[in-house]
Amino acid sequence: MPRIAYVNGRYLPQSRASVHVEDRGYQFSDSVYEVCIVMDGGYWDLEGHLARLERSLGALKIAAPMDRAALQVVMKEILRRNRLKNALVYMQVTRGVAPRNHSFPPEGTPPSLVVTARRFDIRQSDARAEKGVAVISQPDIRWGRVDIKTTGLLPNALAKQAASEAGAYEALLVRDGHVTECSSSNAWIIDETGALITHPKAEAILGGITRQTVIACAEELQIKVIERPFTLEEAKAAKEAFLTSASSFVMPVISIDGTRIGSGSPGPVARRLREAYKAKAANG
Ligand code: PDD
């Protein structure tokens, strides 16, 4: 069965789904996106992802392509048409199509919406989390508003490629000696006292929805969370480290630039948080 994509009001086999050559998402990365995970037919952290999409659109003054209720209909329909119960759903909204010109197109130009879905196998993620992952550090060369979830991801792609070439799962992005986040996830360490440390929500990081839910899980488990920047040296000396994202959940980190973290295997706190996150996200 071919994969079906939603493009501006139509459901099409992905091979026939296309956007205009003068779409501003294509020409200027003038677009925002969300990635959501669906397990057993239910969207995880749905409210958070919808709210962040609206925030990203608002920050760039891109009109919403439809209201929330209509978008949720599309989000449901894309699963039905692809016969998926466990999926990774990608949604992208661009400022629409207009003759190439840096300034915005005329008011009323309709935004473009693309939604795709593919199979997501949680067992692969669980198997990876059992072993833990290696990460490397890379310079954070991104622009100043990475809190907006735009598709302008070239620096992220370059950092992830460097990680792949080094046999690592992710790249820790470092600016002025401090770890901001990773190329497509948020970064966390656990200090001597067992407290979680992660960069505060700011224009220098994407405020992860998983990050938000993990903070709530930590509070329930009475684990202290300190939101402050930490250095690469601190990270290498940490008791445990992990990263979070919609598709990685809580992923234990066992080495940074070849330096072993803690015992060199997934730590107990990261493991506990992964289970707590999965339980919480599954319950909405
Ligand atoms: N990435 N930081 C960056 C730079 C990200 O791209 C992401 C998500 C996150 C984590 O956000 P969340 O917990 O809401 O997924 C942090 C998605 C998964 C992606 O680009 O595929």
Per residue in 123-151, pLDDT (tens digit) is 999 999 999 999 999 999 999 999 999 99
Q: How far is the CA of 245 from the centre of ligand 1 (A)?
A: 5
CA 220/CA 214 separation, integer angstroms: 10
| 15 CA to centre of own chain | 25
Confidence at residue 282, expressed as pLDDT on a 0 to 100 scale: 87
Residue nearest ligand 1's atom 2 by CA? 185
Which amino acid is residue 218, in one-letter code? A
**Cα dihedral: 235, 253, 169, 249 (round 10):** -120
Residues of 80-109 as b/e, b for ≥16 C-beta within 10 angstroms? ebbebeebbbbbbbbbbbbeeeeeebeeee
Confidence at residue 112, expressed as pLDDT on a 0 to 100 scale: 98
3-class SS at 185?
A: coil
For the chain, the farthest-separated pair of C-alpha atoms sits apart, in whole angstroms, at 58
Residue spans of the chain under pLDDT 50: none
| 58 CA to centre of own chain | 19
Residue nearest ligand 1's atom 1 by CA? 184
Q: Catalytic one among 85, 149, 239, 280?
A: 149
Task: For residue 76, indicate whether it is catalytic.
Answer: no
Any ligand 1 atom below 6 A from CB of 56 = no
Query: Nearest-CA neighbor of 114 among 225, 38, 5?
Result: 5
Question: In Å, how far are 45, 57, 99, 102, 212 from 106, measured between CA atoms?
Answer: 35, 17, 11, 12, 37
Confidence at residue 80, expressed as pLDDT on a 0 to 100 scale: 98
Confidence at residue 283, expressed as pLDDT on a 0 to 100 scale: 79
Ligand 1 atom, smallest distance to 205 CA: 2
Q: How far is the CA of 244 from the centre of ligand 1 (A)?
A: 8
Q: How far is the CA of 186 from the centre of ligand 1 (A)?
A: 7
Q: How far is the CA of 99 from the centre of ligand 1 (A)?
A: 31
Ligand 1 atom, smallest distance to 146 CA: 4
Confidence at residue 1, expressed as pLDDT on a 0 to 100 scale: 84
Q: What is the pTM of this model?
A: 0.97
Any ligand 1 atom below 6 A from CB of 48 = no
Domains of the chain: 4-120 (3.30.470.10), 125-282 (3.20.10.10)
Question: Tens of pLDDT along 244-260?
Answer: 999 999 999 999 999 99
Any ligand 1 atom below 6 A from CB of 35 = yes
Number of Cβ within 10 Å of residue 140's Cβ equals: 23
CA 190/CA 250 separation, integer angstroms: 13
